[in-house]
């Protein structure tokens, strides 16, 4: 059976994702962006499950399309600035949130501003719905809004939106300054561009928190915010959300029949965790641990000549590493694997027309401190082997 003959254009047009392969024993997998299970708040989750199962009838019923009120209220209280329940729609994660928004707001041929490099699963969703991605790039001097002004002169508007990740971006780790955030919002306001802000990593800052969110700075301009509990509780909790103007939130709810929401049992447990008095301590401890891993990684790579000028991210758990001009990301990844380290090729994060092949992404989030040290050692070995070719 030729499966391709039976696939919709949405699936057929999606770029091939990175391979999830079995690795030989001893290889350090620093390729995929997963949190460390050792940092999951198991005591809080266990206590929440026990409390919910003591009186489970409501939690075991079908979920309302908007989501369970108890979780909506708990998440609304957690967000900054605090959201109104009428502005919220619960989802099973940040990517399902983007999928719901894309289904509601993007028609084939629409243009979406998209950071380049950017998260490959997000770009796949947008392209599968027929969106044309207009790259929003970073330079050494920061966000390249001059290119955007040239591509979208005053008077030209977008009917869809801009999808951006202003804090600890995946894959680059880049964080927009306060000035860049204000300048970007002014640019979007002049051109009638709705902003979709992904806040997946906002809580994982190292030395200091990121500048205020675009939503908090919007001053009336429509900013839709996407969030998730995957990074601060656990991905298996399967909780995300959309904060949007109430009228749009209602439209999203009306279109929910095609998309799974958050189950009642998960909703009740997640709400209990968020309301637990220990949750704030958990987030601070987790943040401190990831910050230490980032510091440890940055201290180690300072001694790799090719990375002497590399600047570590201010949060999150991604390292976006430049390669020598003569070395492709495929070649580097193969040599790294032979040294016992798996990294992810940068090409997955760039738009196909860019043909960028001079970066790799390394994730230190799931690596225990000693594994971070070993990863740095194997990274140094890789650069030496590449340099000797």
**pLDDT tens digits, one per residue of 214-253:** 999 999 899 999 999 999 999 999 999 999 999 999 999 9
Identify the pLDDT of residue 142.
81
Identify the pLDDT of residue 143.
87
Identify the pLDDT of residue 19.
62
| pLDDT of 145 over the 70 cut | yes
Distance of CA 143 to the CA centre of its chain: 18
| pLDDT of 388 over the 70 cut | no
pLDDT mean over 162-175: 96
pLDDT mean over 126-135: 94
| pLDDT of 389 over the 60 cut | no
**pLDDT tens digits, one per residue of 207-218:** 999 999 999 999
pLDDT grade for 350, boundaries at 50, 70 and 90:
very high
| pLDDT of 14 over the 70 cut | no
**pLDDT tens digits, one per residue of 54-95:** 988 888 988 888 999 999 999 999 888 889 999 999 999 999
Rounded mean pLDDT of the chain? Answer: 91
Identify the pLDDT of residue 24.
82
SS3 of the chain: CCHHHHCCHHHHCCCCCCCCCCCCCCCEECCCCCCCHHHCCHHHHHHHHHHHHCCCCCCCCCCCCCCCHHHHHHHHHHCCCCCCHHHEEEECCHHHHHHHHHHHHCCCCCEEEEEECCCHHHHHHHHHCCCEEEEEEEECCEECHHHHHHHCCCCCCCCCEEEECCCCCCCCCCCCCHHHHHHHHHHHHHHCCEEEEECCCCCCECCCCCCCCHHHHCCCCCEEEEEECCCCCCHHHCCEEEECCHHHHHHHHHCHHHCCCCCHHHHHHHHHHHHCCCHHHHHHHHHHHHHHHHHHHHHHHCCCHHHCCCCCCCECCEEEEECCCCCCHHHHHHHHHHCCEECEEHHHHCCCCCCCCCEEEEECCCCCHHHHHHHHHHHHHHHHHHHCC
Identify the pLDDT of residue 80.
82
pLDDT mean over 15-28: 74
| pLDDT of 294 over the 90 cut | yes
pLDDT grade for 6, boundaries at 50, 70 and 90:
low
User: Going from the N-terminus, what domains does the chain have, and what CATH number goes with each?
Assistant: 3-30+280-387 (3.90.1150.10), 44-275 (3.40.640.10)
């Amino acid at each position: 059976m030729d499966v391709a003959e039976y696939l919709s254009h949405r699936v057929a047009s999606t770029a091939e994702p990175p391979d999830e392969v079995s690795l030989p024993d001893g290889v350090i997998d620093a390729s995929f962006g997963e949190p460390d299970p050792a940092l999951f708040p198991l005591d809080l989750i266990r206590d929440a499950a026990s409390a919910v199962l003591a009186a489970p009838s409501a939690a075991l019923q079908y979920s309302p399309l908007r989501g369970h009120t108890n979780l909506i209220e708990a998440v609304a209280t957690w967000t900054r600035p605090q959201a109104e329940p009428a502005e919220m729609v619960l989802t099973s994660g940040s990517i399902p949130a983007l999928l719901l928004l894309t289904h509601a707001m993007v028609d084939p041929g629409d243009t979406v501003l998209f950071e380049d490099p950017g998260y490959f699963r997000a770009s796949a969703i947008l392209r599968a719905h027929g969106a044309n991605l207009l790259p929003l790039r970073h330079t050494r001097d920061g966000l390249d809004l001059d290119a955007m002004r040239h591509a979208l002169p005053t008077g030209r508007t977008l009917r869809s939106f801009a999808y951006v990740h202003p804090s600890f971006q995946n894959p680059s780790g880049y964080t927009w300054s306060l000035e860049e955030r204000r300048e970007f919002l002014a640019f979007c306001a002049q051109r009638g561009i709705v902003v979709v802000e992904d806040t997946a990593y906002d809580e994982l800052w190292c030395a200091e928190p990121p500048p205020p969110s675009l939503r908090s700075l919007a001053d009336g301009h429509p900013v839709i915010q996407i969030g998730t509990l995957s990074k601060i509780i656990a991905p298996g909790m399967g909780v995300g959300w959309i904060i949007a103007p109430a009228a749009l939130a209602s439209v999203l709810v009306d279109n929910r029949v095609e998309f799974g929401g958050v189950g009642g049992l998960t909703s009740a447990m997640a709400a209990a965790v968020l309301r637990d008095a220990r949750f704030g301590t958990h987030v601070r401890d987790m943040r401190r641990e990831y910050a230490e891993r980032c510091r440890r990684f940055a201290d180690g790579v300072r001694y790799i000549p090719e990375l002497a000028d590399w600047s570590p991210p201010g949060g999150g758990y991604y390292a976006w590493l430049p390669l020598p001009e003569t070395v492709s990301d495929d070649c580097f990844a193969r040599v790294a694997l032979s040294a016992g380290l798996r990294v992810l090729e940068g090409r997955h994060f760039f738009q196909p027309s860019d043909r960028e092949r001079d970066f790799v992404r390394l994730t230190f989030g799931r690596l225990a401190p000693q594994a971070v040290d070993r990863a740095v050692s194997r990274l140094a070995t890789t650069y030496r082997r590449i340099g000797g070719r």
